[in-house]
Structure 1
Amino acid sequence: MTLPDLAPDLAKDMQAIEIRIDGDNRYLAAGKVAMPEIATGEVLVRIHAAGVNRPDLMQVAGMYPPPPGASEIPGLELSGEIVATAPDVTQWKIGDRVCALVTGGGYAQYAAVPAAQCLAVPAGLSMTEAASLPETFFTVWHNVFDKAGLKQGETFLVHGGTSGIGTTAIQLARAFGARVITTAGTDEKCQACLDLGADIAINYKTQDFVEEVKTATSGKGADVILDMVAGDYVSRNFKAAAMEGRILIIAFLNGPKAETNFTPLLLKRLTLMGSTLRAQPVANKGAIAGKLRQQVWPLFENGTIKPVIYQTLPMNEAQAAHDILRGGAHVGKVVLEVP
């Protein structure tokens, strides 16, 4: 559907951050691109802020291309105001403040977004705070609760507790009654995890997380493990898991290959799962959005959970934002503010 028909006052182009390629060098640069056009079931959002996530870094490096038909512009989550809707969209109207999960296009002034993947900005949160939510909350809910079925009273281990995924997982697991154990790389980061509600935080550089988990659970192990590290953590997770434990691998910071002994997998009757969210159908993501709307968004409004933002930068400093994530000192999310 053409924008002149749906929103005649909008310009034909917009500012965006593009991936430029110069030989072997791949980098981010500001530029002007055509305004996106919305399809059936979509809304056009004037973006106020966009969250920065590690998959964005992988896309710039050429390791995580967008799915077919998705925007080449990086950015998997955003917040903003709806300025146009497709004729079949009835759940949203022009002027609504939303945050949304997208397959790309967040680092820009406008984005075409499936209406089903939008959520209202939680009461009391700013646009900047709201932009930090979709990617991690969709991911954690889908994996930890939908796929692994974490239950009240179970023990949950999440690696990388101060990452965007980690800070989200700690808060959600605690809010729904699980006992939370996490790993982080410094004592200061461990304290940040405890402040967010983790019951135990393990410094993986000075402690063996397998032994610490066993000690903390009287030898039982963790019922659910969320892993973004992989590599040698695969075999260690097998050892740290409880009988009939569920292990989810959603990234591989230590590399995509592992040599492991599968005996514990069999003897403990473990379930090992992998998952990505970006290329899943809109219907799947819309179903996750519905669960977040009903079960998680009220927790923002009553103060049970909160956004965790490490730093905000203007959109034209996207490269600096990526450098922050690459450096690994952050606790929580980095967000770009869009002009």
Structure 2
Amino acid sequence: MSSTMRAVFVRKYGGPEVMQLEEIPIPRPSGKQVLIKMKAAGVNAVDFKYISNTMPEGSIPVPFVPGIDGSGIVAEIGSEVQSVKVGDRVYVTWAGHRNVGNRPYAEYSMYDERSVFPLPDNISFKEGAVLGVPYFTAYVGLFHRCRAKSGEVFLMHGGSGAIGIAGIQWARSRGMFVIATAGTKEGLELVKKVGAHHAVNHREPDHDKVIMNLTGGRGVDVILEMAPSINLAMDIELVTHGGRIGVIGTPGPIEIKPQRTYAKESSINGVGTIAITPEVVKEVSSALYAGLELGFIQPVVGTEFPLEKAADAVRVREKERSGALGQYVLTM
């Protein structure tokens, strides 16, 4: 193994232009650390928030290597690691905590053992790189924050992005009736392909009436919302009595009528994964492995960029997120 690697560094906060490709020493693991030879890294919306220091939950001190999700092969392990061995195919993500050390916008990345998960042989490294944030977030939002159950009606607002696709697939795996929205012809085709029973164009006027009509006027039981600053007031009207809304997307100012929530005995739930317990991490990762292995979970890879084009990937991802089709990836 070489003694150096290429990595994308952020040494000051700003736009994608602050990301610089550098050659640095490869770190060596100790204790419960796992060194991974990265094959691909997911490009999440949250990556830009950390680069620009606009993450509501707090900043990552500069300098740092960006990224949260990735996949690759275990290259070296610390003396206390028990769950993986050198040569294993794995994917990585934050789950229940923030990691320290290098992150996946690099040829090698160091992760705590708690954030390293086995990747089934039938899943490519590119597909493995888009698992973490989307599938963990959607699972927690659906089944923990919103207590979704089989037979309920589920609305995925913004279904063609990575979290939207994950939400659709998780809901279908539990026997829910799924309505998903998208804003382009390609997006509408994609949400149907990945499992939605009905696709609705959220850029069309009165699309809320279309959704309500699909439920026979009853309303939906559960909504995962990627654009609450645009849709939350509408979502409150769309849910049925006892309905639950999971807020995932970018925050922004909004005016709502809170009396509608107590009239319907509905709830609005914030969805995140940093604070989930080790038991929930085990639950999600186990369900995800089974879904990938058996084929009812099928991640969708969007546009691919080489590592040296990481700034372009983040820039395009941030600009085009409203019409996303799957998740962007960096390849090493």
Fold similarity call, TM over 0.5: yes
Hey, what does 2:187 align to over in structure 1?
189
After superposition, give the CA deviation of every residue in 1:142-198 in whole Å (9 maximum; x if it has no partner). 111122121111111111111111111111111211111111112331122111111
Deviation at 1:242, TM superposition (A): 1.3
Distance 1:116 1:67 in 2: 22
The alpha-carbon deviation at position 17 of structure 1 amounts to 1.0
In structure 2, the residue matched to 1:297 is 289
Structure 1 stretch displaced more, 209-218 or 172-181: 209-218
1:122 pairs with 2:120: yes
Unaligned runs of at least 5 residues, structure 2: none
**Amino acid corresponding to residue 149 of structure 2 in structure 1:** K
Distance (whole Å) between structure 2 residues aligned to residue 115 and residue 45 of structure 1: 11
1:271 pairs with 2:267 = yes
Q: How many angstroms does 1:237 deviate by?
A: 0.9
RMSD: 2.4
Match of 2:314 in 1: 322
CA distance in structure 2 between the partners assigned to 1:170 and 1:112 by the alignment: 32
Distance 1:18 1:49, change over 3 A: same
2:153 paired with 1:155: yes
Q: Please, which moves more after superposition, 28-37 or 71-80?
A: 28-37
CA distance, structure 1, for counterparts of residue 230 and residue 67 of structure 2 = 30
Structure 1 residues 232 and 307: alpha-carbon distance in aligned structure 2, compared to 1, 3 A threshold: closer
**2:49 is paired with a residue of what secondary structure?**
helix
After superposition, residues 257-268 of structure 1 pair within 5 angstroms as 257-268=253-264
- Structure 1, unaligned stretches of length 5 or more? 1-8
Provide the C-alpha distance between the structure 2 equivalents of 1:241 and 1:23, rounded to a whole number of angstroms: 39
1:21 Cα deviation from its structure 2 partner: 4.3
Give the CA deviation at 1:67.
5.6
Check conservation: 2:141, 2:271, Cα contact below 8 A: yes
Please tell me whether the aligned partners of residues 50 and 59 of structure 2 are also in contact (alpha carbons under 8 angstroms): no
CA contact (8 A) 2:69 2:132 kept: yes
User: What is the Cα deviation at residue 87 of structure 1?
Assistant: 2.0
Equivalent residue for 1:30? Answer: 21
Contact 1:228 1:249 in 2 (8 A): yes
Q: Distance in 2 between matches of 1:24 and 1:100?
A: 25
Match of 1:221 among 219, 222, 227: 219
CA distance in structure 2 between the partners assigned to 1:288 and 1:69 by the alignment:
28
Q: TM-score, normalised by structure 1?
A: 0.87
Equivalent residues in 2 for 1:1-339, closer than 5 Å? 11=3, 13-19=4-10, 21=12, 26-36=17-27, 38=29, 40-64=31-55, 72-102=64-94, 103=98, 105-252=103-250, 255-277=251-273, 279-280=274-275, 284=277, 286-325=278-317, 326-328=319-321, 329-338=323-332
By how many angstroms is 1:101 displaced? 0.3
Query: After superposition, what is the alpha-carbon deviation per residue over 1:286-310, rounded to whole angstroms, capped at 9, x for unaligned?
Result: 4344223432322222222212012
**Residue 20 and residue 69 in structure 1: after superposition, are their counterparts in 2 closer, same or farther (change >3 A)?**
closer
